Structures are given as C-alpha cells and as structure tokens.
Amino acid sequence: MKQQTKSHTEARLELVALLAACALFLSTIEYMIPKPVPFMRLGLANLALIISLGILSDKEYFILLLLKVIGQALITGSLFSYVILFSLAGSLSSALVMLIVYKVFKEKVSCVGISIAGALFSTLAQLTVSRFILFGEGTYVIAPPFLLSGLVSAVILGVFAQMFIERSRWYQTVSGAQA
C-alpha cells in the first residue's frame, strides 16, 4: 500500500496543534501552583508562543494564541468569568508585542528580551483591567509585585526558550522546513 504524504497545510496545522498542546500542558502544570491572586500567573504557557515566533506564520501564531487562551480558560474553569478578561488582555498584548519585537529586532534581541517585553505589556494590560474590574485606584499597590514577578518569570522563560531554540534538533528541523 502506498503511503500518502501530508499536505503542507496539514503539516502546519499539526505544528500549531502540537504547540497548543505544549502550551496547555504547561498551563495545567502552572494551574497546580498556588497563586496569591487568581489572574497572577507565571506565564509558563507563553513558552510555546516565544518558541513559535520563528516557525509559525502570523496567522498560525494568532491561532495558537487563541487556542492557548481558550484552552487555559477551559482548564481553569474561567471561560465564563471575569478572569478570562485578564487572560485575554495579557495574552493578546503580550503576543502582539513579542511578535513586533521579534520582527523588528530579530537579529538584535534574544528570547530573553522578547519575553521581557511580552511580560511587561501583559502585566500592564492586566493591571489596566484590574483597575477597572477589581481594585480601582488601589491597583498601584499590586503593581510592583506583579511587575517584579513578571520580570523574573520572563527572564527564566526567555533563557529556557533561547536554550531550546539553540539546542533542539526538532526546532532546527521545523524552522528549516518553514523557510
């Protein structure tokens, strides 16, 4: 029996699905870590977004983002609560900024810089939502720990993403096939 090869479209969809599965796995792991505030997260699932910058088209990247946000909301049970607003605001702003920084400064900024930029904008977006939904003017009180934890998480995720991109045979194969 002749073996059929996958079409380019099928292979790309499988790649997005694989990265979404990784994001949701990391999100599940993160969900098990206690949080002082429901929307305060380490952002482990963003690792899939950082890694995907060099291998997905813009359209595929935003499909991955949508799958990540909806999947996280299903995992955490927040799909129909105000908490999804934090996820949407943070994830969308972070993803947009990371994509822009990657495209504009591709040769000048490492995954650490991209991750820090994403974390900063994610935190700012979530603080803005927080101001209008939860804390009002008191949001400035929670801003420093959020910014600090976001910076620390971003550096760790960025270092890990950079190491993965540099050392992974899978990544080298996929990024070479995408070109």
Domain boundaries, the chain: 8-178
- 127-171 pLDDT tens trace: 999 888 877 888 888 888 889 989 999 999 999 999 999 999 999
Which residues contact residue 69 at a Cβ distance below 8 angstroms, ignoring those fewer than 6 apart? 84, 87, 88, 91, 92
**pTM reported for the whole predicted model:** 0.88
Domain 8-178 has CATH 3.90.79.10: no
What does the DSSP assignment read for 108-133?
T--HHHHHHHHHHHHHHHHHHHHIII
Sign of the four-CA dihedral 32, 36, 39, 44: negative
For the cut 90, the answer to whether the pLDDT of residue 24 exceeds it is yes
Average confidence score pLDDT of the chain: 89
Helices vs. strands in the chain: H and E counts, helices first: 7, 0
Q: What is the pLDDT of residue 179?
A: 46
What percent of the chain lies above the pLDDT cut of 90? 62
Q: How many angstroms from the chain centroid is the CA of residue 173?
A: 22
Q: What is the pLDDT of residue 2?
A: 52
**pLDDT tens for residues 48-74?**
999 999 999 999 999 999 999 999 899
Q: Which amino acid is at 4?
A: Q
